[in-house]
Structure 1
Amino acid sequence: MRHILVADDEKNMRWALKKALFNDGYVIDEAENGAVALNKFESSIYDLIILDIKMPEVNGIDVLKTIREKDKDIPVIVITAYGEIDTAIQAIKLGAVDYIQKPFDINELKLTIGKALEITNLKEEVKFLREELNGKEFDIIGESSKLKDVLNIVKKVAPTDATVLLLGESGTGKELIAKAIHNLSKRKDGPYIKVNCGALPENLLESELFGYEKGAFTGALSRKPGRFERANGGTIFLDEIGEISPSIQVKMLRILQEKEFERLGGIEILKADVRVIAATNKNLENMVKEGAFREDLFYRLNVVPIQLPPLRERVEDIPILIDYFLDKYSKNLRLEKFKIDKSAMKFLMEYSWPGNIRELENLVERMLILNHGSVIKKEDLPLGSNKMIKDVDKIVLPPNGISIDELEKNLIEQALERTGYNQTKAAKLLGLTRHTLIYRMEKYGIKERRDSD
């Protein structure tokens, strides 16, 4: 439903326009002069403005100038008196999309409104398509079973409006999954707004999320819509949600429960028709136990949790990702691709990738710049202080030999300690089945210290 602001000092004109346009399904707001028009523009969001040029207090030209300073895209149609063609031309130069002269036929105005809104829709569609085309280089790449499991959940949850919580280490592709959910949803034609909650200080994050009114704090010279307001009808992606403060957690809970919020310094209750996707690399359940994160907010966010696997658990995707990044950067940098021999590829597939896909992408780009056109061997990998080699080849046979049984027992104990004695997770770390792990625990007399599963 489109919202239109009609600004005209003639009461009968406003009434006639409101009645005629209301019957066509538009929601009409009125302003009796230029000052009121600017106040309403500051406090609400409109799809189109109909603006009379001659109004008391602030004339239409000055109103148009102020609107264009703050919003370059909203379509404005000006109404001029007969014979004021020079004023109409001035308005067009200032950014009005069209003008209409009094007296006018209401059907003519309706056609003008329809054309202006259609042009706006086309601009938004072109912008969306450009963003989509630019985003093609960030497609979700891989054929591993774990990635397919994630994508299957994405396909099921995307058409709904359910809140999604993306969990996983840094660099695992949480932002890509969030965008995929939006693109597959019924909100795909609406806005997609991203917020990195960990990148902004608390006071700035609060004003960015919820917006503020003029005078809400020092430096608030005009009303500013927040990210939730801008995301209306679409999706908001809250990255690093575990970083938000307790005070912002309270406001976030209200949005998720009541679908409403207020701008800083404001009293107007605004509705939030927004789908929320959140992401974190932290353990929110532990944060709840420690009192660092609200339990009720956690359950509101955790409606559909999606755990993204680290790259070390998607080993079969590593060659596919390398080829993808090679294609991407060889085109961008106009460099000849390198080739990777078997020893180097084996090594890359055995590496633990603590930085996940982001680390792999950076490595490929660096290798391309330094070794384009070459054949990459294990010793050619630009690994800085042999960090990767130490990570993979960290077990060194001592001069006096070693007991394999003692080594295996030690590794099993380390895996159990790391996973809090969760046998399923410990088995995965060791590349064993849970049954095999239990057998070897019994073999080496390793006792369970707590319930495993």
Structure 2
Amino acid sequence: MRKKQAQILIVDDQEEILFSAKMILKKHFETIFTENNPKKIISILNENEINVVLLDMNYRIGFEDGREGIHWLKEIKTLSPQTIVILMTAFGKIDTAVEGIKIGAFDYVLKPWHNEKLLETIDKAVAESRKNTKKAVTGSIQNTEKSYFVGTSPKIKQAYSIAEKVAKTDANVLILGENGTGKYVFAEFIHQNSQRKNETFVHVDLGSLSDNLFESELFGYAKGAFTDAKTDTAGRFESAQNGTIFLDEIGNIPLHLQSKLLHVLQTKTVTRLGESKARPLNVRIISATNNDIKAEVKNKTFREDLLYRINTMEINLPSLRERKDDIVPMAHFILEKIAEKYNQDNWKFEENVAPYLEKYPWKGNIRELENKIERALILAENNTISVNDLDILNFEEIQENDENPLSEMEKSAIEKALFKHHGNISKTAEELGLSRAALYRRIEKYALKNG
């Protein structure tokens, strides 16, 4: 049997898993790498053209919520967007694996796996990898130039205008905005428009780092620095050398660790745990937070001198509520991108969707809009997304008065749902997100028939 030309990386902290998977896959694929330390992923990707990564979701004893896997998935997709990632998880952790698929994983396999199922999944991933490579070569997608949606809102246009100007410098940038307003995308935009765009963009979610991992993760460590320090390991700052490091959720750093970060920014050097040698850094710093950082300074929970270091330029990203005219065109932009992700064409929204999109509160901002559109694309039929598919009939938040501009839309949606479920109150209420009592009140209010 001829082996398929593919380079596959297996990452798991259990040697028996690595051995078993390698024995199965090496009979079918040309090159198999194995690694028990996820921190080596970046260097392996930099040195090899990896087609598929088979990635475990848990590495440290006592941490079994899958967040490490999600973290490394994001890192792989940032560093090597063409690489296909398959997650490995235990039966009881499927929810986290599904979350991983939403943010870019190709699929997941359960441990212990069935050999045939594992081979089938890897085979599909290799085929997908080849498809991605072909697209990049033929130019049918933008391979290095990522497209960004700006919109027409004055606030967002001003933010992008500032970003384009500051990108040409090495000034430190602080991005402020609610959860889901696109701070990561905005930081990436600054990097892509800078002189460092061909260097590494390293994203660090500071909100997910525990206190005891803060220094080792950011600054690295020497062999023997602590019990599990078996090799010299570079931290995230060194990984971003000559490029950009994005310190997300910087407002969540405890006060006692802020001085350590401040020292790195002031001296432009980093010292690994267990060493005394300071290593010079050439790194662009972009930070972000959804906290009221100036109030934290006033309350003495965030150092004022650290704030001065990170906000040479401060950029505020508006919420979707502040840029309502952008919601509908943004939804179309997102739908096109998600359809492309799933290799599908000719998706559209029903004609009556636009007013619902504009009136929905979008408390989760762009992230919520993306999630609802992706879910709708998976569930919808005939390549057409309806209001019901989007799950934005959130009528509990609508004030009940006859002058409400959504009254007619609400009435129409209830009529459609009643018809769809043949007058079944329980199913209709469930679809609309209402209690049975609330649905009965609306049926009476609009004089609807439910039979």
TM category, shorter: 0.5 to 0.7
| Alignment check: 8 A CA contact 1:158 1:182 kept | yes
Match of 2:357 among 334, 348, 358: 348
* Alpha-carbon distance in structure 1 between the residues aligned to 2:189 and 2:147: 10
Aligned partner of 1:204 in structure 2 is 213
Taking structure 1 as reference, are residues 374 and 296 closer, same or farther at Cα in structure 2, changes over 3 Å only? same
* Alpha-carbon distance in structure 2 between the residues aligned to 1:283 and 1:305: 13
CA positional deviation for 1:373: 2.7
CA positional deviation for 1:249: 0.8
CA positional deviation for 1:209: 0.5
CA positional deviation for 1:140: 3.2
Taking structure 1 as reference, are residues 293 and 244 closer, same or farther at Cα in structure 2, changes over 3 Å only? same
CA positional deviation for 1:189: 2.1
**How big is each residue's C-alpha offset from its partner over 1:193-223, in whole Å with a ceiling of 9 and x where there is no partner?**
1100011211212211000111111110111
Match of 1:383 among 391, 408, 419: 391
User: Does the alignment pair 1:337 with 2:356?
Assistant: no
| Alignment check: 8 A CA contact 1:251 1:261 kept | no
Aligned ranges 1:92-131 → 2 under 5 Å: none
User: Does the alignment pair 1:225 with 2:230?
Assistant: no
Q: Which runs of 5+ in 1 are unaligned?
A: 1-67, 76-123, 399-453
* Alpha-carbon distance in structure 2 between the residues aligned to 1:318 and 1:200: 33
| Alignment check: 8 A CA contact 1:336 1:373 kept | no
* Alpha-carbon distance in structure 2 between the residues aligned to 1:189 and 1:374: 37
Aligned partner of 2:20 in structure 1 is none
**How big is each residue's C-alpha offset from its partner over 1:227-250, in whole Å with a ceiling of 9 and x where there is no partner?**
111111111000000111223211
User: Does the alignment pair 1:318 with 2:323?
Assistant: no
RMSD between aligned residues? 3.2
**How big is each residue's C-alpha offset from its partner over 1:340-385, in whole Å with a ceiling of 9 and x where there is no partner?**
224x31121022210001111111122223333376665x35437x
Aligned partner of 1:442 in structure 2 is none
Aligned ranges 1:279-298 → 2 under 5 Å: 279-298=288-307
Aligned partner of 1:95 in structure 2 is none
**How big is each residue's C-alpha offset from its partner over 1:177-200, in whole Å with a ceiling of 9 and x where there is no partner?**
111111111222222111000112
| Alignment check: 8 A CA contact 2:149 2:330 kept | no
* Alpha-carbon distance in structure 1 between the residues aligned to 2:42 and 2:375: 42
User: Does the alignment pair 1:167 with 2:182?
Assistant: no
Report which of the two structures shows the higher radius of gyration computed on alpha carbons.
1
Aligned partner of 2:25 in structure 1 is none
SS in 1 for 2:170: coil
SS in 2 for 1:198: helix
* Alpha-carbon distance in structure 2 between the residues aligned to 1:347 and 1:74: 45
**Identity percentage of aligned residues:** 41
* Paired letter, 2:258: Q
141-150 or 358-367: bigger deviation: 141-150
User: Does the alignment pair 1:249 with 2:258?
Assistant: yes
* Paired letter, 2:351: D
| Alignment check: 8 A CA contact 2:150 2:160 kept | no
* Alpha-carbon distance in structure 1 between the residues aligned to 2:306 and 2:391: 42
* Alpha-carbon distance in structure 1 between the residues aligned to 2:321 and 2:263: 38
Taking structure 1 as reference, are residues 260 and 279 closer, same or farther at Cα in structure 2, changes over 3 Å only? same
Aligned partner of 1:394 in structure 2 is 399
CA positional deviation for 1:138: 6.2
* Paired letter, 2:166: V
* Alpha-carbon distance in structure 2 between the residues aligned to 1:291 and 1:156: 32
Taking structure 1 as reference, are residues 217 and 73 closer, same or farther at Cα in structure 2, changes over 3 Å only? same
* Alpha-carbon distance in structure 1 between the residues aligned to 2:348 and 2:280: 54
CA positional deviation for 1:162: 0.7
| Alignment check: 8 A CA contact 1:214 1:220 kept | yes
| Alignment check: 8 A CA contact 1:212 1:226 kept | yes
CA positional deviation for 1:323: 1.1
* Alpha-carbon distance in structure 1 between the residues aligned to 2:232 and 2:384: 58
Taking structure 1 as reference, are residues 316 and 71 closer, same or farther at Cα in structure 2, changes over 3 Å only? closer
* Alpha-carbon distance in structure 2 between the residues aligned to 1:220 and 1:212: 7
* Paired letter, 2:237: F
| Alignment check: 8 A CA contact 2:149 2:333 kept | no
* Alpha-carbon distance in structure 1 between the residues aligned to 2:227 and 2:395: 54
Q: Which runs of 5+ in 2 are unaligned?
A: 1-39, 48-79, 84-132, 404-451
Aligned ranges 1:256-275 → 2 under 5 Å: 256-275=265-284
**How big is each residue's C-alpha offset from its partner over 1:242-268, in whole Å with a ceiling of 9 and x where there is no partner?**
111223211111122221221111100
SS in 2 for 1:237: strand
| Alignment check: 8 A CA contact 1:138 1:176 kept | no
Structure 1's consecutive aligned runs of 4 or more residues displaced over 4 angstroms after TM superposition are 68-75, 132-138, 374-378
Taking structure 1 as reference, are residues 354 and 233 closer, same or farther at Cα in structure 2, changes over 3 Å only? same
CA positional deviation for 1:336: 5.1
| Alignment check: 8 A CA contact 1:338 1:373 kept | no
Aligned partner of 1:357 in structure 2 is 366
Match of 1:146 among 152, 155, 166: 155
* Alpha-carbon distance in structure 1 between the residues aligned to 2:205 and 2:44: 26
CA positional deviation for 1:72: 5.5
* Alpha-carbon distance in structure 2 between the residues aligned to 1:338 and 1:147: 25
Taking structure 1 as reference, are residues 377 and 69 closer, same or farther at Cα in structure 2, changes over 3 Å only? closer
* Alpha-carbon distance in structure 2 between the residues aligned to 1:236 and 1:189: 14
* Paired letter, 2:276: I
| Alignment check: 8 A CA contact 1:178 1:277 kept | yes
| Alignment check: 8 A CA contact 1:137 1:328 kept | no
Aligned partner of 1:421 in structure 2 is none
SS in 1 for 2:288: strand
Taking structure 1 as reference, are residues 261 and 319 closer, same or farther at Cα in structure 2, changes over 3 Å only? same
How many residues matched? 276
Aligned partner of 1:406 in structure 2 is none
| Alignment check: 8 A CA contact 1:335 1:372 kept | no
